[in-house]
Amino acid sequence: MTLPVRRIGSLSVSAIGLGCMNISHGYGEKPLAADAEALLNRALDLGVTLLDTAALYGAGENEQLVGRAVGHRRTEFTLTSKCVLDVVDGQRSLDGSPAAIARTLDDALVRLGTDHIDLYYLHRLDRRVPSEESVGALVRAKEAGKIGAIGLSEMSAGTIRRAHNVHPIAAVQTEYSPIVRNGEIAVIRTCEELGIGFVAFSPVARGLLAGGVREDAYVAGDIRAQMPRLFGDALAHNLKAVGLFDALAAEIGCTPAQLSLAWVLSRGEHIVPIPGTRSVRHLEENLGALNVVVTPEILARIDLIFGPGAIRGPRYAAAMQAQIDTETFADEELA
């Protein structure tokens, strides 16, 4: 199958990609390896040409899975991964030094079973290291043929501009959905100005806008249990707005996930969402968003649903928020 395409930097990719984190990391019990491999292959069969992984996901297990499952179809997709966040000696590590970046990249190439990653991101900003040094390490990796393009994740407009002065940035990745709009403060506009693709992760708000979160009875190992707006009184409050969003989706004849993805796609031609899933059924549902038309009236109604006060609670706990460089709103709740 062929899907509509969008450009991120010099890369041409399917308008909806696949975030691979879910099948190895962050949401509790992992699927069977055979099911995860089948999901990745089904994504390619359906025309998805952007697969997104990272060294952090499953302490390298996700990269191994991608390489094992679809490495034989390497010419069919754009491969992206990330460094700076890694697992070292069993512990999560944030290290943007050139030496750490080079080590993580070399390990990733082995795990992925390839000698080239098409787009390689700095996963987070290490404030102890000048961003120019971290980007410089990726420039050298590109010169060596190990990567093709350079990306940034959860970084501010100022950081993006400084990095872009060192070397053209192809893509910036930030959480973005009808609920999480920090990218609209400055990053999306900066990306459009500089010709940078904007890759939206968690475009269905970690399942909140896909019918996947209706209570906070999370299984062990589910990162949502650590996200303040996704548990307790905040979640109970937030589900009121989510219920209105669900009703709007039903009214126009699509699922909430499809409406959320269609909303993200409507925000700019340089924007590519990368929803993650463990389910082939949900994968197919997500791609159906490409057929959903969001009119100005629908966009206005979504703005009303998620207007001031509709969503309570920080999106990250304090330790995680400390690693986020993306701008925050003046009235945003922070842990």
Give the pLDDT of residue 189: 98
Which of 104, 138, 94 shows the shortest CA–CA distance to 118? 138
The pTM of the full predicted model, rounded to 2 decimals, is: 0.97
Distance CA 209, CA 242 (A): 7
User: What is the spatial distance between Cα 250 and Cα 76, in angstroms, rounded to a whole number?
Assistant: 35
What's the angle, vertex CA 312, arms to CA 309 and CA 314, rounded to 5? 130
Flag whether 328 is in a domain. no
Q: How confident is the model at residue 187 (pLDDT cuts 50, 70, 90)?
A: very high
Beta-strand pair 78-83/117-122: parallel
In the prediction, which pLDDT does 335 show?
86
The pLDDT confidence band at residue 83, using thresholds 50, 70 and 90, is: very high
Residue 332 belongs to some domain of the structure: no
Q: Is 231 a member of any domain?
A: yes
The CA radius of gyration of the chain, in Å to the nearest whole number, is 19
- In a domain, residue 191? The reply is yes
AA identity, residue 219: V
What does the pLDDT look like over 307-317, one tens digit per residue? 999 999 999 99
Average pLDDT, the chain: 97
249-302 pLDDT, tens digit each: 999 999 999 999 999 999 999 999 999 999 999 999 999 999 999 999 999 999
**Is 334 among the domain residues?**
no
Residue 1 neighbours by CB distance under 10 Å: 9
Q: Is residue 331 part of a domain?
A: no
Domains: count for the chain: 1
| CA gap 159, 150 in Å, rounded | 14
| 57 annotated active-site | yes
Q: What is the pLDDT of residue 20?
A: 98
- DSSP assignment of 33-79 equals HHHHHHHHHHHHHTT--EEE--STGGGGHHHHHHHHHHGGGGGGSEE
Judge whether residue 171 has pLDDT over 80.
yes
Q: How far is CA 64 from the centre of its chain?
A: 19
Q: For residue 330, tell me if it sits in a domain.
A: no
Catalytic residue among 27, 57, 121, 176: 57
Q: Which residues form the domain of 267?
A: 5-321
Q: Has residue 284 been placed in a domain?
A: yes
Q: Give pLDDT, residue 143.
A: 98
Q: Which amino acid is at 231?
A: F
Q: What is the CATH number of the domain that holds 298?
A: 3.20.20.100
CB distance 204 to 42 below 8 Å: no
Question: What is the four-CA torsion angle of 309, 321, 199, 112, rounded to 10 degrees?
Answer: -150
130-141 average pLDDT score: 97
1, pLDDT greater than 90: no
CA distance 240 to 275: 23
